[in-house]
Amino acid sequence: MSQKKFSGAKVALLGAPGVGKTAFAVRYITKRYIGDYDSNKEMLYTYKPREELTLEIMDTASLVSSEETEKHYRWGDGFVLMYSITDRQSFLDASAMKDSLLRVKGQDVPIIVVANKADLASVRLVSEEEGSSLAEQLDCPKYEISVADGYQAVSECMQELLIQLKKDFVKSNTSAAMASMDKSKSSKLFNFKKGFKKRISRSHSDTV
């Protein structure tokens, strides 16, 4: 049986308005930083971080209905949950998103927590410990970064998410392959028993 290769995934960027979702996506894809965006405009990017891998990255709009947010959860294979360390409400929003995301996707969803705007630590309103606690509830890594300061930190965040996505892909395909093998074995066993019963029936009728 040939092993499927990890060749693509859908990544949704989640967070309140102004946390830096679009800047994060653009920094990752182009390595450039642009600070001003429409926070309520949804964008879908296609990006190949390497030749054999294609990512769809959804920069979700911030002010949408709960039904639309749930569609984002169902669409994504992996998630970047963002808040700004200078905006306490964005952290509270991220915590609420965590609860609804786990309800829809389950506990094992590939995800990272990104605390953005570390360059503005002097006006911090969310402690590092609070961010770490949020990540612990998701059982995932947390990164405190500044998208404005450079590409490297953003790249490291996405590399971690890609590792999780690949593990999830392998796990899902292994489970599917095992289920297929079990079904095949059951089918063969059923056919064997069916054939065996027919042989017994013929043998019985021959002796009557």
Residue 147 placed within a domain: yes
Residue 180 lies in a domain: no
CATH number at residue 122: 3.40.50.300
User: CA–CA separation, 168 vs 145, rounded Å?
Assistant: 25
pLDDT tens digits, 52-81: 999 999 999 988 888 999 999 999 999 999
Across the range 46-54, mean pLDDT stands at: 96
pLDDT at residue 1 in the model: 47
Higher pLDDT: 138 or 37? It is 138
Residue 14 domain flag = yes
Has residue 177 got a pLDDT over 60? no
Q: Are 113 and 142 in contact (CB under 8 A)?
A: yes
What are 180-206's pLDDT values in tens digits? 555 555 555 556 555 655 565 555 555
Residue 182 lies in a domain: no
Enclosing H/E stretch for 88: helix 88-105
- Specify if 96 maps to a domain: yes
- What range does the domain containing 22 cover? 8-171
Residue 94 pLDDT exceeds 50: yes
Its pTM surpasses 0.85? no
Q: Give the chain's domain count.
A: 1
Residues forming beta bridges with residue 59, ordered by sequence position: 13, 43
**Does 31 map to a domain?**
yes
